[in-house]
Chains A and B, each alone.
Chain A
Amino acid sequence: MKIRVALAGNPNVGKSVVFNNLTGGHQHIGNWPGKTIDKAEGTLNYKGNEIYIIDLPGTYSLTAYSVEELIARDYIIQEKPDVVVNIVDASNLERNLYLTLQLSELGANIIIALNKMDLAKKENAKIEVKKLEKILGIPIIPMVAPRKEGMKELTDAIIKYAENPVKREIRYDEKIEKYIDEVRRIIEGKIEGLNPRWAAIKILENDEEIKKKIGKDLLSRCEEVRENMKNEVGDPEVALADARYELIKEICKDVLIKEKKVTASDIIDSVLLDKYLGIPIFISILWMIFQFGFMISAPFCDFLGDGFAQVSSALSGITGIRWLDYLLFGDYGVLNGLGMVLSFVPLIILLYFALSLVEDFGYMARAAFLMDRIMRKLGLSGRAIIPMILGLGCNVPAIYATRTIPDEKDRLVAIVTNPLMLCGARLVFFSAIVGAFWGEMGGDVLLSLYLLGVVLTFIVAIILRKTVFKGKASPFILELPPYQMPVPRVCLRKAWERGKLFFTKAGKVILPGILILGILLITSTSFAYTENAEESIAAVIGKALLPLVKPLGWDWRLLVAALFGIVAKEIVLGASALLYGVSEENIAATMASMYTPLQMYSYLVFILIYVPCIVTIGAIKQEAGTKWAVFTVIYEILLAYLVAWLVLGIGHLMGVA
C-alpha cells in the first residue's frame, strides 16, 4: 500500500529529528515552489508499505497570515495526505494542542506523536496519555525522538490509521459553536474540496483566502452571522482562539499534573540573557562558530582547490589544441572552475552544521532577542547579525545562513546587504597592497575598510527599509524554546543537503560565469586565441569602459583587474600582477610607484563594494531569485563608484595628495 504522510507541529518540537528517524538516508531537501522555505521529503519502506513523508514547515497555527502556515494548510487541504502526524511537545502541552485542534478542524486524519516525554518527566509533568487520547479521540504515541524511542510504534500506527482513519469532531463552547453551525449551514454543499466546518470557522475568522472561494451572496449571509457573533462575544478571531485555549485548559486539568519548578532552561537563560553578559557571550559563541567553520574547512578547501589546479596543470597540453586546452584546464577553465565551486562545499557544510547545532540547542532565538533592538534601528532584524559576522569569512555561507530569518523582507535586506561585509577573499588583495602604500599604518587602513563595510551595510539596510522594502517592520514575536541537546546526525544531514544544493544549484550559475570570463581573457578581438592579455576582449572592454572611470583616475589595467575580481575577489591580485607584467610579490610596489595612496585607497574602497563574486551571486540567486541577484550587482556597482569618488573628492578637499 502507498501511504502519504505529512508531519506537522510547532517550531522546535523535534520535527526534523522524527523526519530523519523515519526516512533515514532516503530524503530530499528542496524549496517550496517560489519560496525560500525548506521542503523536506522522504520515503520509507515498511512491512510492504511504501510510505512517502513530507515535513511541513513548523507553525503555531494555520492562518493565512504567514507563508509557513499557508504552505502547511494548503498542503493538507489540496494534497489530502492519508495521515497527518502532529508532533507535540509533551513539555509544552497547552500551547502545542492549539495546533492539534486546528488540524482537527481541518478534518485531517491525525496521529499525535507526543515527543520529548523525557523532558516532560524531568520537569515533573505527568501526562495521562490514555485519558488524553480518549478525550481528543486522536491516537497518541509517546516518544523520545533523539533516542528513537516510540518510532516503531509510530510507524505501525501510521499504517494502521492510514487504513482505518479516525476522524472526530472536537467541539468548543456552545456559544461559539452555534455561530459555526450557522455559517456551516449556509455554505454546506456549496464549496468544493473544503471541510465545511473548517471553512465556516475560517470565514468567521475573516480569512481572506477562504472568503475568496465563497460566492458573494453566500458571503454576505456569512458576514451577517459574523456581525452577530461580534456583537455577542467580541472579535470573532480572538473569541475563537479563546475558545480553543479554554477547551485546552479544561483538557489539561484532566490529564496534566505539573509541578511548578525552576527548569534547567530558566537557569541557563539567567546567564545567557544577562543584561551585561548576554551580548559578550553571544559574540564569543559566534566567534567559536566562525573559527570552527573556517579553520576546519581550510585544509579541505585548499585540498580541493589545489588538487584540481594540479590535475589541471598536469593535464594541460593533452588535447594539443591550445584554446581547447585552456577552456578545459586553464586558470578559468572547466576543471579549475569545478574545483573552485567544490572547494566551497566543505566550508558551507561545516558552518551550516555548527549553526544547526546552535539553532537546535535553542540559542538562535535568544541571540535574536538580544540583538533585535540594536539591529532594528539599523534596518536589519536581530537574526541578521549571524550572516553579517559569517560574511567576514565568506559571503557564500553567510547568504545561506539568512534562512534562519523568518520574515521575507528582513531576509531579503540581509541577503542583498551581506556582500558589503569584507570577506576573506578581498582581504587577500587588501593585505597584499596596504603595506607598500601605508607601511606600519597598513593595519589601520585595513580596519577602516572593515568598518566602512559594516557602516555601509547599515546605511544601505536603512535606505532599503525606507524605499524598496517599505512598509512596517514585522513585529518581533518569538518563542524562546526550552534548551535541548541537539542531535548531531540530524544537523549533519541538514548541512550535507545544504552543501549538495549549493553545488548543484549555485554551481549552475558559477561555472558558466567563470567560463565566460575565461573566454573573454583568451580571445582576441579577431576571435583568435591569444595569450597576450592586452589583446584580449577583456582588455578591449576595459579600455572601452575607461572613460567611465576617468573621474577615479585609474588606467585600464585596474579596471580589467576589477572585472576579473568578479570571478573571485582574490583574483584581483593575480590579475593585476599579470596585467602590469610583474610578480604578485612586486605588484604592490609597482602600484605604489604609479598611484598616490589616496588614489589607491579609493580603488580599494571600490573593490570592497563593487560586485559580489560570482559564487556569491550564485548563492543570492538561489536564495532570493534572479531579480535580487541583479539588483545587488547593480546597486553595488553604483555605490562603489559613488563612495570611491567621494573618497577622492573628500581626500582632495582635506589636502591629502
Chain B
Amino acid sequence: MIPLAFAPEGKILRVVGIRGGRGVMQRLADLGLLPGSIIRVVKSTGGGAILLELRGSKIALGRGISMKVFVEVK
C-alpha cells in the first residue's frame, strides 16, 4: 500500500483507502474515486501532482491529495 503520489506511471491500481476531510472525500467520491475504485496513473510529475484515469475520464490531483489516497498494485 503506497500513497498515490509515489505510484508508478501506467500501472493499474486499486484504491485501498482515502484519508481526508469530509469535503475532499465527498468531492473525490463524486468524481468516482472511492475505496475499491480501479485507476491508472497517466502521468506523475514527480512533485506529487498526478494525472489519473478513472472511470473513463482524466482527473488531475494535487500533491496534497495524492499523498492521502492510498493504492495497491492490482
Residues of A within 8 A of B (CB): 60-61, 63, 65-66, 91-95, 98, 205-206, 235, 237-238, 241-242, 245, 258, 265, 269, 273, 275, 365, 368-369, 372-373, 376, 473, 475-482
The answer to whether A98 touches B60, judged by C-beta atoms less than 8 angstroms apart, is no
B29 partner residues in chain A, CB cutoff 8 A? 237-238, 241-242
Contact A235 B25 (CB under 8 A): yes
CA distance A206 to B36 in the complex (A): 22
Given contacts A476-B60, A478-B59, A479-B58, contact A241 B47 (CB under 8 A): no
Contact partners of B31 in chain A: CB under 8 A: 60, 95, 477, 479
B35 and A238 contacting across the interface, CB-CB below 8 Å: yes
Looking at chain B's contact residues, the main secondary structure is mixed
A96 vs chain B, min Cβ distance (A): 9
Interface hub of B22, B62, B63 (most chain A Cβ within 10 A): B62
Q: Are B32's CB and A98's CB within 8 A?
A: yes
Q: With A373-B63, A479-B58, A480-B58 in contact, do A206 and B22 touch (Cβ < 8 Å)? A: yes
**Alpha-carbon gap, A481 to B60, bound state (A):** 10
Asked if A479 meets B59 with Cβ closer than 8 Å, knowing A237-B29, A238-B35, A242-B34, the reply is yes
List the B side residues contacting A476 at CB < 8 Å. Answer: 49, 60-62, 64-65
Q: How far is the CA of A357 from the CA of B35 in the complex (A)?
A: 37
**Are A238 and B59 in contact, CB atoms less than 8 angstroms apart?**
no
Q: Does B24 have its Cβ within 8 Å of any Cβ on chain A?
A: yes
Point out the residues of chain A lying under 8 angstroms from B36, CB to CB.
Answer: 242
Interface string of B20-46 (1 = CB under 8 A from A): 101111111111101110000011010
**Contact between B55 and A95, CB atoms less than 8 A apart:** yes
Cα A450 to Cα B16 with chains together (Å): 48
Is B62 touching A477 in the complex (CB atoms < 8 A)? yes
B24 and A475 within 8 A (CB): yes
A480 B60 Cβ-Cβ under 8 A: yes
Given A206-B22, A245-B34, CB of A65 within 8 Å of CB of B27: yes
Chain A residue, CB-CB nearest to B28: A477
Task: Tell yes or no: B51 within 8 A of A by CB.
Answer: yes
The interface residues of chain B lying within 8 Å CB-to-CB of A482 are 58
Q: Which of A61, A93, A269, A373 contacts B30 (CB under 8 A)? A: A61
A369 contact set on B, CB distance < 8 A: 49, 51, 60
Q: Which residues of B contact A479 (CB under 8 A)?
A: 31, 57-60
Residues of A within 8 A of B63 (CB): 373
A84 shortest CB reach to chain B, Å: 18
Complex alpha-carbon distance, A589 and B43, angstroms: 57
Q: Are B32 and A373 in contact (CB under 8 A)?
A: no
Query: Chain A contacts of B43 at CB under 8 A?
Result: 269, 273
Is B49's CB under 8 angstroms from A63's CB? Answer: no
Q: Do A94 and B55 have beta carbons less than 8 Å apart?
A: yes
**Which residues does chain B contribute within 8 Å of A95, judged by CB atoms?**
31-32, 55-57
| Residue in B34, B48, B56, B63 whose Cβ sees the most chain A Cβ within 10 Å | B56
In the assembled complex, the Cα of A60 lies from the Cα of B55 at a distance in Å of 14
A63 touches B26 (CB 8 A): yes
C-alpha gap A500/B65 in the complex (Å): 40
A253 to chain B, nearest CB (A): 13
User: Contacts A63-B26, A241-B34: A475 and B51 contacting too (C-beta < 8 A)?
Assistant: no
Which of B58-74 touch A at CB < 8 Å? 58-65
Partner of B56, one of A66, A92, A368: A92
What's the Cα separation between A478 and B20 when bound, in Å? 17
Which of B27, B42, B61: most chain A CB closer than 10 A?
Answer: B27
State the 7 A-B residue pairs at the shortest beta-carbon distance, nearest first.
A476-B62, A241-B29, A61-B30, A480-B58, A369-B60, A94-B55, A478-B60
Between B22, B26, B34, B51, the greatest number of chain A beta carbons within 10 A of the residue's beta carbon is seen for: B26
**Can you add 7 more A-B contacts, CB < 8 Å, to A269-B42, A373-B48?**
A95-B56, A205-B26, A369-B49, A475-B65, A476-B64, A479-B58, A479-B60
Interfacial chain A residues near B62, Cβ < 8 Å = 372-373, 376, 475-477
Report the nearest A residue to B53, measured CB to CB. A266
Query: Could you tell me if A98 and B30 are in contact, using CB atoms closer than 8 angstroms?
Result: yes
Between-chain CB contacts (< 8 Å), 23 pairs: A61-B27, A65-B27, A91-B56, A93-B56, A94-B56, A95-B55, A235-B25, A237-B25, A237-B26, A237-B29, A238-B35, A241-B29, A241-B34, A242-B29, A245-B34, A372-B62, A475-B27, A475-B62, A475-B65, A477-B27, A477-B62, A481-B57, A481-B58
Q: Establish whether residues B51 and A63, one from each chain, have CB atoms under 8 Å apart when the complex forms.
A: no
Contacts of B35 on A, CB cut-off 8 Å? 238, 242
Nearest B residue to A368 via CB reads B60
**Are B30 and A241 in contact (CB-based, < 8 A)?**
yes
In the complex, chain B residues whose CB is within 8 Å of the CB of A275:
45
State in angstroms the CA–CA spacing of A476 and B27 once bound together: 11
Measured CB to CB, the nearest residue on chain B to A89 is B57
Across-interface contacts of A273 in B (CB, < 8 A): 43, 51
In the assembled complex, the Cα of A179 lies from the Cα of B34 at a distance in Å of 20
Report the separation of the CA atoms of residues A376 and B30 in the bound assembly, to the nearest whole angstrom.
24
Q: Which residue of A lies closest to B34 (CB)?
A: A242
The answer to whether B60 touches A63 (Cβ under 8 A) is no
Cα–Cα distance between A98 and B58 once the two chains are bound (Å): 16
Q: Which residue of B lies closest to A374 (CB)?
A: B47
Interface contact B49-A373, CB-CB below 8 Å = yes
CA distance A411 to B27 in the complex (A): 20
CB-based nearest B residue for A266: B42
A372–B62 CA distance with the chains assembled, in angstroms: 8
Find out whether the CB atom of A238 lies under 8 angstroms from the CB atom of B56: no
Complexed CA–CA distance, A44 and B64 (Å): 46
Contact of B22 among A237, A265, A481 (CB under 8 A): A237
Interface hub of B28, B35, B55, B59 (most chain A Cβ within 10 A): B55
What's the minimum C-beta distance from A536 to chain B, rounded to whole angstroms? 54
- Nearest CB of A to B39, in Å: 13
Q: Which residue of A lies closest to B27 (CB)?
A: A477
Pairwise interchain contact A477-B59, C-beta atoms closer than 8 A: yes
Give which listed residue, B26, B34, B49, B64, contacts A65 with CB less than 8 A: B26
